[in-house]
Amino acid sequence: MPRDLPLRATFDAAASFYQDARPDYPAELYSDLLAITGISPPAHLLEVGCGPGKATLPLARMGFRITAVELGAALAAQARHRLADFPGTSVITSPFEEWEPPAEARFDLVYAATAWKWVDPAAKYAKAARLLPQGGHLAVWNADHAFPAGFDPFFTDIQRVYDEIGEGDGSSWPPPLPEDTPDPIAAEFEDSGLFTVAGTKLYVWALRYTADEYLALLDSFSGHIAMEPARREHLYREVRRRLAARPDGRLTRHWSVVLTVGRRL
């Protein structure tokens, strides 16, 4: 298993506030997901890494039956609480790689929302394919920081702080535009030999954050949760200082999501 995968366990520490700190996925994503896959309620879906139910709730409200697998005990408990009004949903506490579904289990769609990168690449495509009929679909999407033209200069300033404290990743600055960023998932689908890409779609939007709201967001990211405390405290002080100097005390963060849907061969 790749060495960075242990970081996936850090998200359980953010279970109580993850749902509120992270943005909702665009409504258009769910419409496009249904259009590309052709599924409709009450199809049975399998979610890999449901967290507190960020992507589970919208699909449960549509009437889908959902089996969700979540490795974090606290996150799984949050998801069960939020999904209590939907008897067609169930949340299983287990890493996806170790979960043993019933021998006859088959799903109409397997999907993962900002979770697929945390699953062992040596196992995830084969296991997803095994749980789908031929022609069934695997859908993956991630919510990432986007840097469109004219992005908030706050992030250029704060990137210098990351670099100063040794938390920069060495990438060139600024990052590529969202529309110029390659979709690694599409290549993974094809390279697996088990799926072919059935459709992709990019979504970009902006949200405004106060210092408290933005730091709560940072506290939901694995790298910040695992950051050495003194470094994190210095970074957070710098975030507050820079935003306090702004008339409205807010920043604009752009988000991007790429929906990638594969069809099982």
Distance CA 67, CA 91 (A): 6
Confidence (pLDDT) at 207? 98
Measured distance CA(222)–CA(14) in Å, rounded: 9
Q: What is the pLDDT of residue 252?
A: 98
pTM comes to: 0.92
Query: Which domains, and CATH codes, for the chain?
Result: 5-147+177-208+253-264 (3.40.50.150)
Identify the pLDDT of residue 2. Answer: 46
26 SS3 class = coil
Instruction: Quote the pLDDT of residue 54.
Output: 96
> Using CA atoms, how far apart are residues 16 and 13, in angstroms rounded to an integer?
8
Question: Which residues contact residue 224 at a Cβ distance below 8 angstroms, ignoring those fewer than 6 apart?
Answer: 218, 232, 235
Tell me what pLDDT residue 6 has: 61
The pLDDT value recorded for residue 138 is 98
Place of tokens 């033209």: 149
Q: Are 117 and 11 in contact (CB under 8 A)?
A: no
pLDDT tens-place values along the chain, 265 residues long: 444 556 666 777 777 888 899 999 999 999 999 999 999 999 999 999 999 999 999 999 999 999 999 999 999 999 999 999 999 999 999 999 999 998 888 999 999 999 999 999 889 999 999 999 999 999 999 999 999 999 999 999 999 999 999 988 888 899 999 999 888 899 999 999 999 999 999 999 999 999 999 999 999 988 898 889 999 999 999 999 999 999 999 999 999 999 999 999 9
Question: Residue 9's pLDDT is what?
Answer: 65
